[in-house]
Amino acid sequence: MGYQNVKFPEDSVFLVTGGAGFIGSNLCEAILNLGYRVRCLDDLSTGKQENVDLFIDNPNYEFIEGDIKNLEICMEACEGIDYVLNQAAWGSVPRSIEMPLFYCMNNIMGTLNMLEAARQKGVKKFVYASSSSVYGDEPVLPKKEGREGNLLSPYAVSKRADEEWAKQYTRHYDLDTYGLRYFNVFGRRQDPNGAYAAVIPKFIKQLIHGERPTINGDGQQSRDFTYIENVIEANLKACLAPSSAAGEAFNIAYGGREYLNDIYKGLVDALGVDIEPIYGPDRAGDIKHSNADISKAKELLGYDPDWTFERGIKAAIDWYRENL
Ligand code: NAD
């Protein structure tokens, strides 16, 4: 369980793209804590300088400010790298509906540049962030790899395209690629601010500040909210996965299902506030329910998540209490 006992060759070097963001900065931290070297490549478009400053004094950490839309920068960043953890992308379904061209350039071309650079520089493993959004309107639960529906947003198209490109790089160029379909990740350092913020950090911040959060729709939507530690475990274990599992995408979640109204109530109770939510309209491109079958990742990556939603939400609340 977990990732504390994973072992890599002593001189291993990782590249985390999007390493100044929420998931990427947690990956950098975990790699440093395990004693390996990590290079972070980020254009700071949605990421934060403060997530770089946290590690900049560590001799095992290196930061390149740069854009994965630029192949030359990707080539420079992949020099001497064993494992790529490609997290750089813009998230948010609604924003992607407003900016389809940007999502194509950034999320698809950016990842394609990284695949090409990884291939040319002889990277051992290429692990990349995909998303549960690739299941689109498929209603059957739990979501299972191989049973995807119609895509509902440019963001989902970008993640699906990344998976298809990664498959080509495994098929034709022997690059071991592993796609991780994250399901609603939450935890420390997730940005609570802005119109496109994820619900958990946004609600915690608003409740701490005595503001009334807005729940989109009736709050009866459910998600497989996944604590960041489980995502770190999946990334590290994918780097150690056999080549026979390459060219595939895997659900990365806890395998549970939480309703938004219940989460809201849990947060209100945990924070000791008495604030009613505002109910707003449904969001375009959103699905009603989502939860994951994680058996494929368990079987082929040895993924064995040990952070339940309850354990994770407690840790997240504690972190925001101290850091907001
Ligand atoms: P985030 O916005 O906190 O991090 C993304 C990072 O990528 C940011 O630091 C940003 O500056 C950087 N970036 C974006 N475009 C870039 C570019 N062209 N060049 C270099 N850097 C660039 O988001 P996150 O939640 O940490 O997401 C990380 C990855 O996981 C993304 O690929 C996202 O689509 C995927 N994902 C996240 C979730 C979730 O619940 N957070 C769910 C599914 C998938």
- pLDDT tens readout for residues 306-319: 999 999 999 999 99
* Confidence band of 263 (pLDDT split at 50, 70, 90): very high
pLDDT digits (tens, 9 = 90+) for 118-132: 999 999 999 999 999
Q: Which amino acid is at 302?
A: G
Res 286: pLDDT = 79
Atom of ligand 1 nearest to the CA of 51: 9
Residue 286 CB-half CA count within 13 A: 20
Domains in the chain, start-ordered, CATH in brackets?
Answer: 13-186+226-255+291-307 (3.40.50.720)
List C-alpha distances in Å: 170 to 116, 167, 184, 230.
11, 5, 27, 25
3-state secondary structure 266-301: HHHHHHCCCCCCEEECCCCCCCCECCECCHHHHHHH
Query: 65, 90, 128, 200: which to mutate for ligand 1, most atoms within 8 A of CB?
Result: 90
3-state secondary structure 31-77: HHHCCCEEEEEECCCCCCCHHHHCCCCCCCEEEEECCCCCHHHHHHH
* Confidence band of 160 (pLDDT split at 50, 70, 90): very high
Residue 90 Cα, ligand 1 centroid: separation in angstroms?
5
**Whose structure tokens read 């990664």?**
166
- Of the listed ranges 14-23, 89-98, 277-286, the one predicted with least confidence: 277-286
* Confidence band of 140 (pLDDT split at 50, 70, 90): very high
Res 264: pLDDT = 97
**Whose structure tokens read 């990365």?**
252
Q: Does the global pTM surpass 0.85?
A: yes
Res 318: pLDDT = 96
Beta strands in the chain (DSSP E): 13-17, 37-42, 61-65, 83-86, 125-131, 176-182, 185-186, 214-216, 222-223, 226-227, 248-252, 258-259, 278-280
Q: Are 53 and 26 a contacting pair, CB within 8 Å? A: no
Residue 155 Cα, ligand 1 centroid: separation in angstroms?
12
Res 1: pLDDT = 81
| Residue 285 in this model has a pLDDT that exceeds 80 | no
Burial class (CB in 10 A: 0-12, 13-18, 19+), 229: buried
Percentage of residues in the chain with pLDDT exceeding 90? 96
Q: Ligand 1: residues whose CB is within 6 Å? A: 17-18, 20-24, 42-47, 67-69, 87-91, 106, 110, 129, 131, 182, 184-185, 191, 198
Nearest-CA residue for atom 35 of ligand 1 = 129
Query: 28, 68, 153, 182: which to mutate for ligand 1, most atoms within 8 A of CB?
Result: 182
Residue 269 Cα, ligand 1 centroid: separation in angstroms?
31
Residue 173 Cα, ligand 1 centroid: separation in angstroms?
26
- Mean pLDDT (whole number) for 55-78: 98
Nearest-CA residue for atom 28 of ligand 1 = 87
Res 46: pLDDT = 97
Nearest-CA residue for atom 4 of ligand 1 = 21
- Of the listed ranges 15-19, 38-42, 110-114, 191-195, the one predicted with least confidence: 191-195
Question: Within 10 Å of residue 226's Cβ, how many Cβ atoms?
Answer: 28
pLDDT digits (tens, 9 = 90+) for 7-54: 999 999 999 999 999 999 999 999 999 999 999 999 999 999 999 999
Question: Within 10 Å of residue 222's Cβ, how many Cβ atoms?
Answer: 20
How far apart CA 121 and CA 136 sit, in angstroms, is: 34
Q: Are 28 and 5 a contacting pair, CB within 8 Å? A: no
Res 283: pLDDT = 84
How far apart CA 127 and CA 85 sit, in angstroms, is: 5
How far apart CA 258 and CA 64 sit, in angstroms, is: 38
Average pLDDT across the chain, whole number? 97
Atom of ligand 1 nearest to the CA of 67: 19
Residue 199 Cα, ligand 1 centroid: separation in angstroms?
16
Atom of ligand 1 nearest to the CA of 86: 32
